[in-house]
Amino acid sequence: MARWLAFFAECDFRVEYKPGRLNVVADALSRRPDYAAKTADGNRIGVESVSASSLTLIGDVKAAYASAADTKQFLSYISAPSDEERRKLAPHLRAPQWTTM
């Protein structure tokens, strides 16, 4: 609370009390259906979805990486980074964003 007081101390504002029916904004916010208290129904059964990556898909992606010329060069470089390996890379693979992974 002290943090908020310090934050609002810099602002020029006035707190004004609005009783009951005059405070329609607060009333509207408190009646929003998405803010309504949700009651648990003991008889309700929920369904959860589960997704798992396919091992064949992962293998296919690895095989595609291994067969592409650019990725072969790049994988060789990141597995054992050295100046010599970096010089072997194609110019577009020597860009700074790729060498700091």
> Domain locations in the chain?
2-35, 55-99
Region for 19 from its dihedrals, namely left if φ exceeds 0, alpha if ψ lies in -120 to 50, beta otherwise: beta
In this predicted structure, what is the pLDDT of residue 81? 82
Q: Are 71 and 65 in contact (CB under 8 A)?
A: yes
Mean pLDDT computed over 87-98: 74
Between 58 and 97, the more confident residue is 58
Tokens coding 55 = 């091992």
In this predicted structure, what is the pLDDT of residue 98? 54
In this predicted structure, what is the pLDDT of residue 38? 61
Q: How far apart are CA 44 and CA 36, in angstroms?
A: 19
Q: How far is CA 11 from CA 1, 3, 6, 26, 92, in A?
A: 16, 14, 10, 22, 52
Per residue in 11-63, pLDDT tens? 887 878 878 777 777 766 667 666 656 655 666 677 777 766 667 778 888 88
